[in-house]
Structure 1
């Protein structure tokens, strides 16, 4: 059916929409279904719904050409029955059934509405294999196919599978032993938080900040001055406390026999070490936290052990008491108790050193009295004489100070800069009491306290060879002719200090794992007071054990028990006259090996 001649004189349409745009318009516009060819004419009801005689119906036929990727502007060409559409599609305009041919006034941009195709579509439908379907159904199937290809190109199924895998991982339980893996950037999702949690008003204005609440202290601060000997979490004058303090007082009144400190036969000494065993009743948790220092009462009638932990607690354990209440815990300090000693002349006095104060626990008066207080943090101390009237104190900043307990007040008599960056331990020579051994970062030196002054102090002897920080250094107990050091370079060194020359030679070096880490107290090698040339040190070996070495570097004995000793004992102490060894671990538990 040809168009009227007047259509040839219409101006060319500029910038018509693309085929894809035209296709979307067609899909979004519902197309009235026409009865198939040869069907009976519509009834009266259907004729009432049909458009009136003054309304023209236009059928549009879109037929793809061979070039599917070409894009051109749609033009309406006059003078023929057909026009060309964008993308090589043929645009045919025919009047509806019973309608006259459209004139110039009846054609416009909105006149090309979708309708059923004429007989020329049969060839195209046969080529697609959908000859039995109407043009609308064929067009719908074509759109479904194109949409499926488009979504397949987006790879939505792979993304959905990946998100499902992420959600499954988050729902699985995470055990304590599993280590958290870093999240990938693609797995991170933005958590939605309410405006109330974000502290934002509904209008978008941030809410004013609340004043910061003071944090509650886990433990109240220990005040300065004398403190009563009242155990933690117990009422004063408790029966258990009285029994413990009474035992301490009684064994302190007994005169301790002078133990003969001499070098005995090595075979006999090894036999005595082998006779020391541990049992379940000789293992007890005395303090709550990591043991940082220990001391053992010199009494030969009872076994009384004191332990200090990193939170300022001091625990007393009467090992001879077989009841479960044989231990009591006191809190005389605010910080770590780094050093403890029973007084050599009066074992009723227990001196304990923390970062800020040196206290004396006097069981006869049942108080913890102050001896020395300073803003400079303390690290260790030792008595300058057997009467324990004077002491030398090491500071974490590298200095040392001299304290006289007979003078009033809590200040020192002398504060000396020895040139160290840090002083970890100090120890007095057992024979020549004027000599003090100080261990610092990588420095170990002997000083003469008679010539100490505030500045410009020079050491009498230097013990060189350490490449990392030194944890401890101690003279041998009888003659002081040996010094044993523990260094972070995984070596134990024994020095010959028979002659305090300016440079002391190394007698023996022993390879030893001293890598305790941050959760364990650093090892300290201590001499056996009953044996001049043997020392005890903790071990990282498994099964857990405590090792005894000779000054020649020979391993003499290892204390271990798989059932009773399952942790590292960093701090150890030996009884001065009996075959008793006590080891403390990082959980506040003490282990006693005895005959």
Structure 2
């Protein structure tokens, strides 16, 4: 199990040995690691609050990055890799939009994105769809979920659908998450009452609302779907995890 944290460390948990081993460490105390994505079984990209993306190889004994790319002057929140062409990845952060990059053309400084798309508001996340990468699902603080057509990677990526959703909140960063084995639906939390996790189709139709007024009375803002079992998990801002079966 891999995890990254605000202490600037990326670690691998060995459940048999019951220890976490450092894979990557940022030497600066004020660097926060936001999230990571595997580009191969042994390599990953890690997003940072400094606007950098680190390329990490888990096979090396060193805890430093193989490459460090300075891509923005503002903080990143997510990095997502194309599932079939892993040299393409997208970053999202507080600059108000997301960018698509080609890792083959990156330089340590002053790299140029293949595509930059503005939201006008801080963006919480942007994720390639998990099977073919033909969609990018983006979540912002302006009550909008947007699906982009990324079937052809390049400067002409366009919005395919804009979905209104109640996710306006000053403290929580809602992140819509794809079904890990499908590209026709995703889940996202909601500010609606009673509190719920919404299952939404790419056409913008709400397919189901996961709710339980007895147990779930707080907002879930991070979510996950099991790839093979009918399980949905969501977490609130107090560290509680709710699992729907």
Task: Give the TM bin, normalised by the shorter chain.
Answer: over 0.9
Aligned residue in 2 for 1:419? 72
Quick one: which of 437, 451, 463 aligns to 2:105?
451
Aligned residue in 1 for 2:37? 382
Aligned residue in 2 for 1:301? none
Quick one: which of 162, 167, 175 aligns to 1:514?
167
Higher share in helix:
1
Partner Cα separation in structure 1 for residue 38 and residue 158 of structure 2: 27
SS of the equivalent of 1:532 reads coil
Normalising by the residue count of structure 2, what TM-score does the alignment of the two structures yield? 0.94
Uncovered stretches (5+) of structure 2, i.e. residues with no partner: none
- Deviation per residue, 1:484-508 (Å, 9 max, x gap): 1111122111100001120311011
Partner Cα separation in structure 1 for residue 118 and residue 238 of structure 2: 34
SS of the equivalent of 2:170 reads coil
Aligned residue in 1 for 2:120? 467
SS of the equivalent of 1:514 reads coil
Aligned residue runs from structure 1 range 29-178, under 5 A: none
Aligned residue in 1 for 2:208? 557
Residues 1:500 and 2:153 aligned together: yes
Report deviation, 1:535. 0.7
- Deviation per residue, 1:313-341 (Å, 9 max, x gap): xxxxxxxxxxxxxxxxxxxxxxxxxxxxx
Q: Is the 8 A contact 2:98 2:118 kept in 1?
A: no
- Deviation per residue, 1:342-376 (Å, 9 max, x gap): xxxxxxxx111012110111113221100111123
Q: 1:574 to 1:451 in 2, by over 3 A?
A: same
Matched length: 240
Report deviation, 1:420. 4.5
Q: 1:488 to 1:429 in 2, by over 3 A?
A: same
Q: 1:420 to 1:512 in 2, by over 3 A?
A: farther
Q: Is the 8 A contact 2:147 2:162 kept in 1?
A: yes
SS of the equivalent of 1:427 reads strand
Aligned residue in 1 for 2:191? 540
Report deviation, 1:531. 2.3
Quick one: which of 4, 21, 26 aligns to 1:369?
21
SS of the equivalent of 1:524 reads coil
Higher share in strand:
2
Partner Cα separation in structure 2 for residue 488 and residue 566 of structure 1: 21
Partner Cα separation in structure 1 for residue 244 and residue 167 of structure 2: 23
Uncovered stretches (5+) of structure 1, i.e. residues with no partner: 1-349
Normalising by the residue count of structure 1, what TM-score does the alignment of the two structures yield? 0.39
Q: Is the 8 A contact 2:71 2:111 kept in 1?
A: yes
Partner Cα separation in structure 1 for residue 61 and residue 144 of structure 2: 44
SS of the equivalent of 1:558 reads strand
Aligned residue runs from structure 1 range 241-256, under 5 A: none
Partner Cα separation in structure 1 for residue 120 and residue 10 of structure 2: 32
